[in-house]
Amino acid sequence: MTKRPIRRFFVLLTVYLVVAIPFKAMNLIPGFTDVRPVQALGPIYGIFFGPLGCLAAAFGNLVADTVDDALRWTSIAGFASNFIGPLLVWLYWTRVSRTPFSLRTARDLLRYCLVIVVMAVVEDAIVAPAVKLVYPEVDFSFLAAAVFGNTAGFPIVLGIPLSILLQEEMGLKPADARLD
Helix/strand number for the chain, H first, E second: 7, 2
Contact 56, 79 (CB under 8 A): no
In the prediction, which pLDDT does 144 show?
94
pTM of this structure: 0.91
Contact 38, 13 (CB under 8 A): no
Closest CA to 70 of 138, 145, 154: 138
Closest CA to 64 of 33, 90, 87: 33
What does the domain layout of the chain look like in residue ranges?
3-169
Rama region for 35: left / alpha / beta (φ>0; ψ in -120 to 50; rest): beta
CA atoms of 166 and 82, how far apart (whole Å)? 21
Comparing 27-36, 48-57, 73-82, the range with the smallest average pLDDT is 27-36
Closest CA to 84 of 111, 41, 47, 54: 54
The set of residues, in sequence order, having a beta carbon less than 8 Å from that of 160 and lying 6+ positions away, is: 103, 109, 112
- Model confidence pLDDT, tens digit, residues 100-153: 999 999 999 999 999 999 999 999 999 999 999 999 998 999 999 999 999 999
- How confident is residue 2, by pLDDT bands cut at 50, 70 and 90? confident
Topology of domain 3-169, per CATH?
Answer: Arp2/3 complex 21 kDa subunit ARPC3 (1.10.1760)
- Model confidence pLDDT, tens digit, residues 5-20: 999 999 999 999 999 8
CA atoms of 56 and 15, how far apart (whole Å)? 10
In three-state secondary structure terms, 37 is: helix
